[in-house]
Amino acid sequence: MLHDFPSRVDEFIGNLIESSDPSLVPFLVADIVYSWAATIAKKYNLVNVSFWPAPALVFAINNYYYDHLSTNGHFPRTDDLVYSIDYIPGVESISNKDLMPYLHEVDTTTVTHKILIKAFEEDKKPTYAIGPVNLSSECIKTRVPKSLLFEVDCSKWLESKPPGSVLYVSFGSIVQTNKQIIEAIAQGLLLSEVSFVWAIRPKIVSSIDDSENVLPAGFEDNIKDKGLIVPWCNQNAVLSDPAVGGFLTHCGWNSILESMSCGVPMICYPVMYDQPTNRKLVVDDWKIGVNLCDGISINGAEVASKIKQLMCEKTSVDIRNEMMKLRSILHDALAEEGSSNRNFDQFIQDLKHKMHV
Ligand SMILES: *[C@@H]1O[C@H](CO)[C@@H](O)[C@H](O)[C@H]1NC(C)=O
C-alpha cells in the first residue's frame, strides 16, 4: 500500500488522462488511508477527494486522537487501566477499551500507525455524510460482489425455515479468527438448537490450511438439517430473506449497515480495526444487538444463551423495536430527499466551485 501501489495508480491515471478527454476525469476519489493519492491528484491537476467508509465516530477519533490523546497522556499507551475519554470534539465520553485496537498498542511504529497518522494529518477538509453507499439503489442494482469467492445460493434451504428462525453467521471477507472461537460458536449453535447459515470462507483460521476442516469433528453430522455451512454467500440476499432473524457478525461496518437495512439484530464479536468501536455503537448506544460473550473468555454455554436470547421473540422484543427505529432512519437517509442525496448534491456543488466550472 505504501511502496508499490502509488506508482501503479500514478501510471494508471496518467494513461487514463492521455487516452481520454481530460475534462472527463476532473477529480480523484481515494480511500483516506491512501494519503499519497492527493500527491498524484496534484501532479495531474485533479481535485483530491478522500473517502471514509467507516462510521463518523471512528473518523472523529482518528482525526483528533494524535493531538488530544497524546496531550492527555493516553497515547501511546503506558498502562492497562480502563478510563473514559471525554475530550475528543464531537465524541461523547467513550471508554478506552472501546477505541480501535491500534490505539492500545504499545508499539506505535507499525505500518497501520504510519498509514493512519499520515492520512489524518493531511485530512482536515470539509466533510459530507453520504450513504450508506453500499446500500444505495445504484449499488444494489449493479450487485457488485464484495469478494472474489463464489457465492452459494442459500435461498432454497432458507425457504423451508419459519420466518425469523435462522441465525446467519459470518466474519466478513478479511478478518481471521482462531480455532477456539470457531469451536465455541459451533458448540453454542448446537446447544442453542437454533437453525443457522454459517459462511466459513477459506483461511478464516490462519493457522489451518485449506485441506483441514476448521470445524470440530462430528459437528456437520450432528447438525443434520439445522444448519447450512457454505464457504461464501451473497450477504444481502441472506439478510433480506424472511427466514433470517439474527446475525452473528465480526462488526465490519458494511455488515452492520446491511444488517440494519434488513432490520436484523446482531450478536457481536469484533476482531480488529474499527470493529470494537462499531460494537459499542450497536450494543451500548443503539441497543440493536448483544455481545457474543460479556466477559473476556468465549465459551459455548454463554454463546448458546446469547443466541437463544437474541432469537427468541420474547427476550429480544426491545432490541427488535430499536432495530426497526434505526432501520427507518437508515432508509430515510437514502430516500430521494434524504440526507445522502442532499449532501451529495452539496458535495458536487462545492467540487464544481473548486474546479471553477
Ligand atoms: C488536497 O485537497 C485539499 C483540500 O482542497 C488541499 O488543501 C490539499 O492541499 C490537497 N493536497 C494536495 C497534495 O494537493
Give the other-Cβ count within 10 Å of 249's Cβ: 29
CA 144 and chain centroid, separation: 17
Residue type (1 letter), 135: L
Per-residue confidence (pLDDT) for residue 123, from 0 to 100: 57
Q: How far is CA 98 from CA 105, 275, 281, 288, 308, in A?
A: 13, 9, 10, 17, 26
- Is the pLDDT at 22 greater than 70? The verdict is no
Nearest atom in ligand 1 to 354's CA: 5
How is residue 176 written as a grid cell? Answer: 481471521
- Is the pLDDT at 116 greater than 90? The verdict is no
Binding pocket residue ranges, ligand 1, CB within 6 Å: 38-39, 42, 48, 125
Tell how far the Cα of 7 is from the centroid of ligand 1, in angstroms: 19
Question: Could you tell me what percent of the chain has a pLDDT over 90?
Answer: 67
Which of 47, 51, 125, 127 has most ligand 1 atoms within 8 Å of its beta carbon, as the pocket-test mutant?
125
- DSSP letter at 73 equals T
Q: How many residues are listed for the chain in this entry?
A: 357
Residues paired with 198 in a beta bridge: 169, 229
Q: How far is CA 297 from CA 55, 82, 98, 293, in A?
A: 27, 18, 17, 7
Write out pLDDT tens, residues 177-218: 999 999 999 999 999 999 999 999 988 998 777 678 899 999
Q: How far is CA 72 from CA 61, 76, 78, 120, 134, in A?
A: 14, 10, 12, 19, 37
Q: Apex CA 47: angle with CA 346 and CA 2, to 5°?
A: 120
CATH of 149-334, one of 3.40.50.2000, 1.10.357.10, 3.30.750.24, 3.40.50.620: 3.40.50.2000
Quickly list H helices, the chain: 5-19, 37-43, 56-71, 111-122, 137-142, 155-159, 179-192, 219-223, 235-239, 253-261, 275-279, 300-311, 317-334, 339-355
- The residue whose CA is least distant from atom 11 of ligand 1 is 38
- The residue whose CA is least distant from atom 1 of ligand 1 is 48
Tell how far the Cα of 284 is from the centroid of ligand 1, in angstroms: 37
How is residue 179 written as a grid cell? Answer: 480455532
Write out pLDDT tens, residues 154-178: 999 999 999 999 999 999 988 899 9
The pTM is what? Answer: 0.93
Closest CA to 259 of 231, 285, 284, 278: 278
**Residue 303 or 22, more confident:** 303
Q: How far apart are CA 247 and CA 256, in angstroms?
A: 9
